[in-house]
Structure 1
Amino acid sequence: MATLIRPPPLNPEKAKIENLLELTQLTDIDADLFTNTQPLWHPPGARGIYGGAAIAQCLSAAQKTIPKDFTVHSMHCYFVLAGNSDIPIIYHVERVRSGKSFATRTVQARQRGRVIFTTTLSFVRQNSGGEKLVQHAAKMPQVSPPIEGMDDLDNSGAPTGPFQSQRIEIYKNDSDHPEEKRCRQWIKARGRISPEGGHEAHLSALAYMSDSYFVGTIARVHKLWRYSTHRKDKSKSSIDEEDLKKLLAMDDETLKRVKHVDAHDLERLRRMEKGEDITKDDKPEIGMMVSLDHTIYFHNPRHFRADEWMFTEMETPWSDDGRGLVFQRMFTRDGTLIATCVQEGLVRLKQAGESKL
């Protein structure tokens, strides 16, 4: 059962991401308990649900327990266990502190009594900084604008998901130093977020999208192969066999629109189509890549729309010992810095003796 209570019909007046992130308050049990109203997405090949859903729904739950003149400015999250898309999630909000200028909440996401995700959030009262302020912000790099009307695709070649993205060529992609590279994209929620959702809906949508292939930046800057279909340990593959066949059947222009298929992936797919054995390549292959923690600092939380194009830039300053660190900046289209995100993830390569594609 994917939800605790039978889901209501989707509200056509709301954006797809609003419907997806909607919560049901379990008032009869506890006013600070919530559950997912709609089933959650399990990405193909992933160990559990899409992590952005847990991040966004925890934020949404916490926002329902604070005064309207308070806004989130930071949240610090830990992925504890893989979420099961077939089991409802219960979100428990703890009201740690409610002060004059700041409020603190913790949220635990549980399935069958076990914590799968936990976060601590801090909220600040609007305009509590005073009239005189210390101000500066990083500048958005000059990049090509998004192309209106061009939609991205999933592995099967269909436009899908609650948000869309357009990748920009990786900055310094030919560098021998992965830490110098920058992975860039335009991103926005599909449709139009309703006035009823308020700034809270835009913040939750941003939180959802902030996890979009975040730790995957490490694989991208190292040009690692991420499309295995067979694992020695019999765990889920990184892509379904049928989806791989669909990718192989696409032309180059279509493949360039598929989420997370980079130029080096396209080159390998074309070699596979020709019958070449890519398992003999010296290039390492990802064995496991999952998020461990996720932090978001919200800078201008009431001055953006998540259903309008936002620019994101990701870089990775370090990776070693089976882990990697990634930084992300998010800007409005006009260059306003709206969020800075940090994520550490597990990044393990396939070891000698493990089967490859």
Structure 2
Amino acid sequence: MNEPLTPLDDLLTVLDPEQIERDIFRGTSRPSLVPRVFGGQVAAQALVAAGRTVPEDRLPHSLHSYFLRPGDPEVPIVYTVDRIRDGRSFTTRRVVAVQHGRPIFHLSASFQTHEEGLEHQEPMPAAPDPLSLPTAAEMLPRHAHRFADPQLLDRLLDARAAVDLRYADEPPFAKVGEPREAKSQVWFRTNGKLADDPLLHICLATYVSDMTLLDSVLLAHGRGGWAVGDVVGASLDHAMWFHRPFRADEWLLYDQESPSASGGRALARGRIFTESGALAVSVIQEGLVRVPRG
């Protein structure tokens, strides 16, 4: 008798788009918390598609992407990969995600063979021990009375089942109306071990990187976000730089801040550190952040 799939198994299936032609892939979507495809999922699927057209000894060192239209979670997403360049050290790919005959997402990614070079990094900021922090199952029910939708608690718990994500401080929806410093920290790791495939770990981090990055924006204004209905938001673009090896099934600290918000948009940036203090990833995103009228 086959054992049922774990939430992590289900997520890994979604992040494994089917190859239907040489440079064409097709992906499905997980149930979404909002009526559109989760941006981190599209970015991760696109990076997987790009990575499968690249020699195995080359890994992503950067990606730059734009979210063009809301994705339909009920319809497969087709990813077409354009082989821009194959150099001696670097490989460049462009990926377009299409639904209903129109592009919904665009990604450019660069891959590099491993090289030795100069080394320095910012120090890891202070953060509490991840095991001292409440899990989603312990934290979210305490704030369910604030959610705009009574069914949101179950959907949030389902969305967080594959990834153990723990807030270092209270999330934005915990203290609505109380502006705080525009900084946020979360620890995360997958709820289960992953295969020893570096591209898989990079794609898992890409998936998680879009979950909480705009929290720092909300904190600065005492807003609870879409969960409580006092802000309408969406990712506009997303960029990542992968500096050092890491495992997504081991604790990673996601340190996030927002330097600016204006014109209905907000900028957020993040740094992902390994538990040992290595700076593994840098992230920058601009998001749409609107206050509902009326």
Q: Same fold (TM over 0.5)?
A: yes
Q: Residue deviations 1:60-82, cap 9 Å, x none?
A: 01110001111100000100000
Cα deviation code 1:19-77 (max 9, x no counterpart): 23111100xxx2100111x532311xx24111100010011011100011111000001
> Which residue number in structure 1 is paired with residue 13 of structure 2?
19
Matched, 1:35 2:26: yes
Aligned to 1:259: none
Residues of 2 paired with 1:119 and 1:325: CA distance?
19
Matches of 2:257 and 2:128, distance apart in 1: 19
Counting only pairs closer than 5 Å after superposition, residues 231-250 of structure 1 correspond to structure 2 as 238=229
- Name the CA distance, whole Å, in 1 between partners of 2:52 and 2:291: 41
Please list, as runs of the form range in 1=range in 2, the aligned pairs for 1:272-283 lying within 5 A after superposition: none
1:126 aligns with 2:127: no
Counterpart amino acid of 2:55? Answer: P
Query: 2:93 touches 2:108 (CA, 8 Å); kept in 1?
Result: yes
Alignment partner, residue 147 of structure 2: none
Measure the CA separation in 2 of the matches of 1:97 and 1:333: 35
Q: Distance in 1 between the 2:248 and 2:119 partners?
A: 24
TM-score by length of 2: 0.84
Match among 115, 121, 137 for residue 121 of structure 2: 137
Query: Which residue in 2 is equivalent to 1:215?
Result: 214
Q: Deviation per CA, 1:193-217, whole angstroms, max 9, x where unpaired?
A: 124xx11111110100010122232
Taking structure 1 as reference, are residues 11 and 67 closer, same or farther at Cα in structure 2, changes over 3 Å only? farther
SS in 1 for 2:202: helix
Q: Mark the runs of 5 or more structure 2 residues left unpaired by the alignment.
A: 141-152
Post-superposition Cα deviations, 1:1-33, rounded to whole Å, max 9, x if no partner, equal: xxxxxxxx9867x7443223111100xxx2100
Distance in 1 of aligned mates of 2:163 and 2:190: 4
Give the aligned partner of residue 349 of structure 1: 291
- In structure 1, stretches of 5+ residues that fail to align are 1-8, 230-237, 239-284
2:200 counterpart residue number: 201
CA distance in 1, matches of 2:92, 2:31: 29
Separation in structure 2 between the aligned mates of residue 17 and residue 40 of structure 1, nearest angstrom: 8
How do 1:27-66 and structure 2 match up within 5 A? 30-36=21-27, 38-43=28-33, 46-66=34-54
Q: TM-score, normalised by structure 1?
A: 0.70
Paired residue type of 2:136: D
| CA 181–225 in structure 1, closer or farther in 2 if over 3 Å, else same | closer
Provide the rounded CA distance (Å) in 2 between the counterparts of 1:227 and 1:67.
41
User: Does the CA-based 8 Å contact 1:298-1:340 persist in structure 2?
Assistant: yes
SS at match of 1:147: helix
Q: Deviations over 1:121-142 (max 9, x none)?
A: 0111112x5xxx3221011112
- 1: CA distance between counterparts of 2:208 and 2:94? 21
In structure 2, the residue matched to 1:296 is 240
Alignment check: 8 A CA contact 2:50 2:93 kept: yes
Q: Which has the higher strand share?
A: 2
Partner of 2:105: 117
Q: Deviations over 1:284-342 (max 9, x none)?
A: x32x2111000000001xx2110111001110000011110001000011111000000
Compared CA separation, residues 224 and 148, structure 1 to 2 (3 A): closer
CA contact (8 A) 1:16 1:190 kept: no
Name the counterpart of 2:70: 82
1:308 and 2:250 correspond: yes
The residue identity in structure 1 corresponding to 2:288 is L
1:99 to 76, 87, 90: 87
Q: Which residue of 1 aligns with 2:272?
A: 330
Contact conserved, 1:15 with 1:192, CA < 8 A, in 2?
no
> Would you say the 8 A contact 2:256–2:269 is kept in 1?
yes
CA distance in 2, matches of 1:227, 1:102: 40
Asked if 1:147 is matched to 2:131, the reply is yes
1:144, distance to aligned residue in structure 2 (A): 1.1
Note if contact 1:15-1:194 (Cα within 8 Å) is conserved in structure 2: no
